[in-house]
């Protein structure tokens, strides 16, 4: 695995940590498995790429992720350890054994109902704690869920999370500011910041995927995928996997309501229904019955939602260019 502009390599020493191997790389950072020479324990070291340190917006995101990870203390959230004496910017995180939920789904395609429900309840528990601490993840997806050997879960990567009271960051990169097209909530598509119910929506999409093996919305490009959730209804999960009960399908629908006010108000409410399906009433959903009728977005609407992303990106680029020339 090769990271862009890599300045550290396996075998290097970084303060009190011996870097052993690269385990992940992204547009923002490289993650190493490392050993703390003081304790002999395994840790994960996240080192931002040099271009991130020179980009105020992206560097602010890195700092925010560190601050949130240090503050949140829950077994379902990856811990970040305070490290005030470091010689350069990097993040020290707990080492987690397991696989990403994305890897689990790639290998198994879809999960048995009992396992999908168990994993979702675990994610709800972590989300409830995160939300209670004034944090919204905003980029929940299988790539950001670590599944342990006993199916315990950990939320990871709070790079675009929003803290209550924090200033809103400008859009420097679409995928790193608004979430991921397959899981992003309708309100985020419309350019709103999103709240805890946006995370509930993303979790509903993940539960749909775990149960059926497919995501509920599709399209030839990210904008088409985002528009699909604004215009059309997903294929009912029971049409794809008949073992899904009507109550469980109703839970998926409630989590994925297009309007936030109609969704579960909290992850705790969603977990309660998953644990007590006999208490779940089945609502009449005439819109859901129209899933075979697919509408295409008007050209103007596609351009509008594209502009929500592209205009801030262009403005940011111009401001950065002016700042570098100044």
Question: Are both 118 and 36 inside the same structural domain?
Answer: no
| C-beta neighbour count of 152 within 10 angstroms | 15
Which residues of the chain carry a pLDDT beneath 50?
1-3, 165-177, 300
Print the domain residue range for 19.
13-94
pLDDT score recorded for residue 163? 61
**What phi and psi values does residue 231 have, to the nearest 5 degrees?**
-110, -30
Question: Are both 72 and 117 inside the same structural domain?
Answer: no
- Give the Cα separation of 38 and 36 in Å (integer): 5
Query: CATH number of the domain that 124 lies in?
Result: 1.10.510.10
Q: What is the pTM of this model?
A: 0.83
- Give the Cα separation of 306 and 122 in Å (integer): 35
Token pair of 189, please? 């598509």
The per-residue DSSP string of 283-314 comes to ---TTGGGTT--PPPPHHHHHHHHHHHHHHHH
Question: Are both 22 and 113 inside the same structural domain?
Answer: no
**What phi and psi values does residue 258 have, to the nearest 5 degrees?**
-65, -40
- Give the Cα separation of 170 and 108 in Å (integer): 38
Q: How many domains does the chain have?
A: 2
Question: Are both 83 and 180 inside the same structural domain?
Answer: no
pLDDT score recorded for residue 320? 56
Contact 275, 251 (CB under 8 A): no
In a domain, 202, yes or no: yes
From residue 308, give the alpha-carbon distance in Å to each of 1, 170, 178, 192.
Answer: 34, 12, 10, 10
In a domain, 322, yes or no: no
In a domain, 163, yes or no: yes
In a domain, 5, yes or no: no
pLDDT score recorded for residue 305? 58
Question: Are both 142 and 28 inside the same structural domain?
Answer: no
Last residue of a domain, one of 31, 64, 94: 94
Sign of the torsion angle spanned by Cα atoms 220, 221, 223, 226: positive
pLDDT score recorded for residue 314? 63
Question: Are both 86 and 117 inside the same structural domain?
Answer: no
In a domain, 254, yes or no: yes
- The closest alpha carbon to 136, from 193, 205, 60, belongs to 193
Query: CATH number of the domain that 26 lies in?
Result: 3.30.200.20
Question: Are both 20 and 155 inside the same structural domain?
Answer: no
- The closest alpha carbon to 176, from 82, 266, 55, belongs to 55
Contact 31, 46 (CB under 8 A): yes
- Contacts for 237 with CB less than 8 Å, ≥ 6 apart: 208, 211, 212, 244, 248, 249, 252
pLDDT score recorded for residue 315? 62
Contact 196, 267 (CB under 8 A): yes
Question: Are both 127 and 26 inside the same structural domain?
Answer: no
> Within 13 Å of residue 24, how many CA atoms lie on the same side as its CB?
17
Active-site residue (options: 139, 182, 199, 273)? 139
Question: Are both 86 and 162 inside the same structural domain?
Answer: no
Token pair of 217, please? 């919305």
- Contacts for 285 with CB less than 8 Å, ≥ 6 apart: 253
In a domain, 321, yes or no: no
Active site residue 60: no
DSSP 77: B
- Give the Cα separation of 124 and 142 in Å (integer): 14
In a domain, 316, yes or no: no
Last residue of a domain, one of 64, 94, 124: 94
Question: Are both 61 and 125 inside the same structural domain?
Answer: no
Question: Are both 290 and 195 inside the same structural domain?
Answer: yes
Structure confidence by residue, pLDDT tens digits, 55-81: 887 788 888 888 888 999 999 999 999
Question: Are both 136 and 164 inside the same structural domain?
Answer: yes
pLDDT score recorded for residue 226? 86
DSSP 236: P
In a domain, 3, yes or no: no
Last residue of a domain, one of 57, 75, 94: 94
């Amino acid at each position: 695995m090769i990271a862009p502009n890599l300045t550290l390599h396996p075998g290097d020493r970084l303060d009190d940590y011996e870097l052993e191997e690269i385990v992940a790389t992204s547009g923002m950072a490289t993650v190493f498995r490392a050993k703390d020479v003081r304790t002999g324990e395994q840790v994960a070291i996240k080192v931002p790429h040099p271009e991130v340190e020179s980009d105020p917006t992206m560097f602010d995101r890195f700092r925010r992720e560190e601050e949130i990870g240090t503050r949140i203390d829950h077994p379902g959230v990856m811990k970040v350890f305070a490290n005030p004496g470091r010689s350069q910017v990097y993040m020290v995180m707990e080492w987690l054994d397991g696989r990403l939920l994305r890897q689990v789904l790639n290998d198994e395609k879809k999960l048995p109902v009992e396992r999908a429900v168990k994993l979702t309840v675990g994610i709800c528990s972590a989300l409830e704690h995160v939300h209670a601490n004034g944090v919204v993840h905003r980029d929940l997806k299988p790539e950001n869920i670590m599944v342990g050997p006993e199916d315990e879960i950990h939320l990871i990567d709070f790079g675009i999370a929003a803290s209550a009271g924090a200033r809103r960051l400008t859009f420097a990169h679409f995928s790193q500011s608004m979430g991921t097209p397959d899981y992003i909530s309708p309100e985020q598509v419309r350019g709103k910041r999103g709240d805890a119910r946006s995370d509930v929506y993303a979790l509903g999409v993940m539960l749909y995927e775990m149960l059926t093996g497919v995501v509920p919305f599709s399209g030839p490009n990210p904008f088409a995928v985002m528009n699909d959730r604004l215009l059309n209804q997903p294929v009912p999960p029971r049409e794809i996997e008949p073992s899904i009960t009507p109550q469980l399908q109703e839970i998926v629908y409630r989590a994925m309501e297009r309007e936030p006010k109609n969704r579960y108000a909290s992850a705790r409410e969603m977990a309660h229904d998953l644990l007590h399906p006999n208490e779940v009433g089945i609502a009449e959903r005439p819109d859901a019955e129209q899933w075979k009728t697919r509408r295409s977005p008007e050209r103007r609407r596609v351009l509008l939602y594209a502009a929500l992303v592209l205009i801030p990106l262009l403005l940011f680029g111009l401001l950065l260019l002016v700042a570098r020339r100044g």
